[in-house]
Amino acid sequence: MEIDYLKIYRAALKKAGLKYRLAKVQTEFNIEAGAADGRDVRLTMRDAILIRQRKGLKIRKTRGRNYKAKASLPTPVLGTINVLRGWLYADLSLNGKRFRFVNTHLESYGADARLAQAKELIAKGGPARTSGPVVLTGDLNSDSKDRGGNSSPAYKALTGFKFRDTWIKANGSRPGLSCCQGADLHTSKAYDSRIDYVLTRGKVSATASKLVGSKAKERTSSGLWPSDHAGVVSSLSLK
């Protein structure tokens, strides 16, 4: 049995009448092992950029790469493995105004690797280091505050590079907690951290920012949460 969540998601968008183009996919952690019942099991993690088709929006370039920094994770079957993460971006223009959209998922298993990955983003030649406007999105696994054991250095490295937090810009001191529900999506838990972001740099500003998928009324008829994280939706304006 194969479950391709990207394929399922794109089919759902199409069914809803929403026209999105797949701009770029980046393969990350990919592991295979035998299960106790003899089955072969593989997990392949990917990040993707989907772009809603609209007049005046053009995709000029896309690129993706894995981080050099990796966390090591001990396993009972395969021994110690390196967890692979990465980034991807799309250079776009909207009505002639150019900007870069970057998506990433920073390391969740180790604070040192997570910080090193954030620094790769903004290092010379990194995807977030460009002269034009940049929108950086993703699960950064780094809280804006040191709260409940969450590590904030990666977030501070990015905001120290003059990335602005659209949630704070639009909502001030409102907490905006986005993580996490139970992994089975049935178990309900109180959100206790803010690790999902839309950050901007350069001539782009936030006009609004909200959470989606965080309220009980947004669960499916069978009681499933849309995700273990709430989504962050920000409205932006190019200057």
- Give the DSSP letter of residue 34: E
Its pTM stands at 0.94
Range of the domain at 55: 5-238
Q: Cα–Cα distance between 142 and 91 in angstroms, integer?
A: 25
Q: At 34, is the pLDDT very low, low, confident or very high (cuts 50, 70, 90)?
A: confident
| pLDDT level of residue 32 (50, 70, 90 thresholds) | confident
Does residue 208 carry a pLDDT above 90?
A: yes
- Stretch 37-50: mean pLDDT: 91
| Closest to 87 (Cα-Cα) out of 67, 70, 72, 71 | 67
CATH number of the domain enclosing 57: 3.60.10.10
Look at residue 149 in the predicted model and tell me its pLDDT. Answer: 57
Alpha-carbon torsion, ordered 95, 131, 121, 238, to 10 deg: -30
Output phi, psi for 116, to 5 deg: -60, -40
Our count of domains for the chain comes to 1
Bridge partner residues of 179 (DSSP): 193, 229
pLDDT tens for 76-112 read 878 899 999 999 999 999 999 999 999 999 999 889 9
Assess contact for 147 and 191: CB atoms under 8 A: no
Inform me whether the pLDDT recorded for 189 exceeds 90: yes
pLDDT tens, residue by residue, 121-166: 999 999 999 999 999 999 999 999 876 555 799 999 999 999 999 9
CB atoms within 10 A of CB 214: 19
- The pLDDT mean for the chain works out to 94
Mean pLDDT of 21-33: 93
pLDDT digits (tens, 9 = 90+) for 168-185: 999 999 999 999 999 999
